[in-house]
Amino acid sequence: MKRTLAEAELEQVARHFRLLGEPMRLKILQALCGKPRTVNEIVAAVGATQANVSKHLALLAAAEILTREKDGQCVYYGMKDPLTLKLCELVHNQLAE
């Protein structure tokens, strides 16, 4: 880090990391690696409750980690930023050592 971050910035960075600190959310992100998917598709992919997935998606979208696009009665969620995936890769590679 180039300079010392203020409390508010630390809080923000921490919140971002905390969002990535949940296996189910990582699973959801994994499911969205390739292309955007509907909630139902994601539910099927990760094997969790619809309500549970929906809550996680809302959090991830609110943090702008995911995009949210409505199409008819379906809602498509997709990766907003490749950085997130990069972060996961980095951590995983390090842990693999």
Partner DNA sequence: TTGACATATAACTGTATGGTTATATGCTCA
Partner DNA sequence: TGAGCATATAACCATACAGTTATATGTCAA
Decide which of DNA, a second copy, none touches 17; Cβ closer than 5 to 8 Å per partner kind. Answer: a second copy
Residue 62 in contact with a second copy, rule: CB under 8 A:
no
- ∠ CA 57-76-55, nearest 5°, is 15
Residue 58 in contact with DNA, rule: CB under 7 A:
yes
Residue 67 in contact with DNA, rule: CB under 7 A:
no
Residue 59 in contact with DNA, rule: CB under 7 A:
yes
Beta carbons within 8 Å of 76's beta carbon, 6+ residues apart: 36, 37, 38, 67, 68, 69, 70
Q: Find the binder of DNA among 54, 78, 85, 87 (CB under 7 A).
A: 54
Binding site for a second copy (CB under 8 A): 1-2, 4-5, 7, 9-23, 25-27, 30, 33, 81, 83, 85-92, 94-95
